[in-house]
Amino acid sequence: MNIVVIGAGKIGSAIISSLVEEGHDVTAVDTSPRAIEEITDSYDIMCVCGNGADVDALREASAGSAKLFVACTESDDTNMLACFLARRMGAAHTIARIRNPEYNDDSFGFTCQQLDISEAINPDRRAATEIFRILKFPSAVNIETFSGRFELIELVLRDDSPLTGIPLSELRKKYPADFLICAVQSGSQTFIPSGSDELMPGDRIAMTASPYVVQKLLGKMGILRKSAKDVMIIGASRTAFYLSKQLTSAGIRVKVIDSDREACERFSTELNDPAVTVINGDGASQSLLLEEGLSDMDALVSLTGSDEENILISLFAAGAGVPKTATKVNRPELAQMAEKLGLESVIIPGKIVSSQLSRYARAVQNSEGSNVEALYRVLDGSAEAIEFRVKPDFPYIGIPLRDMSLQKNILIGGIIRGRRALIPTGTETIMEDDRVVVISSGHRLLELSDIVDTDNTNPPRPTGVAPEKSGNLRETV
């Protein structure tokens, strides 16, 4: 699919990488010759050095014939104008990166409608939301939600974890609950486990269950940590602004530290919340952090503009006994290093946005009615969790799952049927209008039927034959 990306900075580069990996025909546009050179050195794609809001540059990039046009420069105004021009030139779908909080009031939807922008993305808001979920559920290093009924949580297993050293089939007997360990990252390898596999300390796992079951299960296992009530944030950034609003709305006290006095004053004025204390000081100063009560905090979030500083601050906080840290890192290579150093919750804004773009691109590519409802990259991007809506033409409706041979490294992690979340057994069947959560590694799935190994699965039901009633359910409410 022909996709034009305006802006090849940190976010733009992550988007381009993801789209190229998906097999799309990408054209990049940026005003910086150095950025263009770096992109051409890394990817075999067409690049244009020019202003994305300039008609001549857009024509050179063939923006008018783009199926998807993405504007992600540092300027909100440039992004909105570029999308407007591209749409008028004939681009089918446009997405703008819009970060300024002023653009996110009640008039925002009206503005996008008038400019014919298909969707707006805000990396800062999305990063804040991901951090907020982690702080509310600190046992996890990442949480994704499907239709509000199903959660996929990532956990890093510690040396004393009760999940290690036991075959997964026995683990289900030891902890009888409706959950499924659906993917494992062990070292550099990611795989879909079988019942005979055993988990090891240091493994990063993905588990699916309903929110209620997750809380109850981790409580039984003794690895459920209490939600944060006092949070320290280093860096008065846009992400910190959105995160502070979410935290205080949940009754959590916040302390923000930044060395830029003007940024502190602006942050305090715009937020205007008595539950937030803003400190003008060096967040990298150990003595200042301790003086401001770091040891009494439930969590620390590092959101400065320096990846290295964020990593070091989080490491110091972890060493000072802070139960939970969340660290923003823009460079993927540094994010991997941070995790090897023991930092569990590393937030990469580019990865968050690229996952959203990948989902949108797949939906556009299957524009005659995509059944992809949500797509998340999990386990450091080595696996995907995709929510499909089952349409009437799905050829395996009514066939028990035990009679469907799935492709290697693919697993059905759950089924959402109406208001119910189900962990399926072999007798379960997929029904029309179900939402099916599929976990895969090493596959690019566009349709739900792509999960089936047709060489080893019985032929689908003939057209017009009504499926039988659903078999036994293992249901979570």
- The predicted structure's pLDDT at residue 475: 41
Asked if 239 and 225 touch (Cβ cutoff 8 Å), the reply is no
Query: Considering Cα of 87, then 119, then 359, then 99, what sign does the dihedral take?
Result: positive
Tokens in use for 378? 């999990």
Asked if 130 and 352 touch (Cβ cutoff 8 Å), the reply is yes
The DSSP code sequence of 127-174 is HHHHHHHHHHSTT-SEEEEETTTEEEEEEEPPTT-TTBTSBHHHHHHH
The residues pairing with 375 across neighbouring beta strands, listed in sequence order, are 386
Q: How many angstroms separate the CA atoms of 41 and 25, rounded?
A: 16
Domains of the chain, each with CATH number or no CATH: 2-121 (3.40.50.720), 127-221 (3.30.70.1450), 230-347 (3.40.50.720), 361-476 (3.30.70.1450)
- The predicted structure's pLDDT at residue 107: 61
Q: How many angstroms separate the CA atoms of 383 and 152, rounded?
A: 12
Count of residues in the chain:
477
Sheet of strand 276-280, all strands in order from the earlier edge strand to the far edge: 276-280, 253-258, 230-234, 299-302, 324-328, 345-347
Q: Which residue has the tokens 């009888």?
A: 176
> Digits of tens for pLDDT over the chain (477 positions)?
899 999 999 899 999 998 998 889 999 999 999 999 999 999 999 999 999 999 999 999 999 999 999 999 999 999 999 999 999 999 999 999 988 766 655 566 777 788 889 888 888 999 999 999 889 888 888 888 887 778 888 988 888 888 888 898 888 788 888 888 999 999 888 999 988 899 999 899 999 888 888 888 888 888 777 788 999 999 999 999 999 999 999 999 999 999 999 999 999 999 999 999 999 999 999 999 999 999 999 999 999 999 999 999 999 999 999 999 999 999 888 988 998 898 988 999 988 888 888 878 877 766 545 577 777 888 877 888 888 889 888 899 999 998 888 998 999 999 999 888 888 888 899 999 999 999 998 887 878 888 998 777 665 554 444 444 444 444 443
Rg (the chain; Cα; Å): 23
With H, G, I as helix, E, B as strand and everything else as coil, classify residue 416: strand
* Chain centroid offset of residue 434 CA: 23
With H, G, I as helix, E, B as strand and everything else as coil, classify residue 343: coil
With H, G, I as helix, E, B as strand and everything else as coil, classify residue 83: helix
- The predicted structure's pLDDT at residue 467: 45
- The predicted structure's pLDDT at residue 311: 97
Q: How many angstroms separate the CA atoms of 407 and 410, rounded?
A: 6
- The predicted structure's pLDDT at residue 282: 96
- Give the H/E segment covering residue 385: strand 383-389
Q: How many angstroms separate the CA atoms of 45 and 63, rounded?
A: 15
| Residue 253 per-residue DSSP state | E
Characterize 404-433 residue by residue with b for buried, 16 or more Cβ atoms within 10 angstroms of its Cβ, and e for exposed: bebbeebbbbbbbbeeebbbbeeebbbbee
194 CB burial (10 A radius; 0-12, 13-18, 19+): exposed
Residues sharing a CB contact under 8 Å with residue 58, sequence separation 6 or more, in sequence order: 4, 29, 52, 64, 82, 85, 86, 89
Asked if 119 and 95 touch (Cβ cutoff 8 Å), the reply is yes
Q: Which residue has the tokens 């923003």?
A: 328
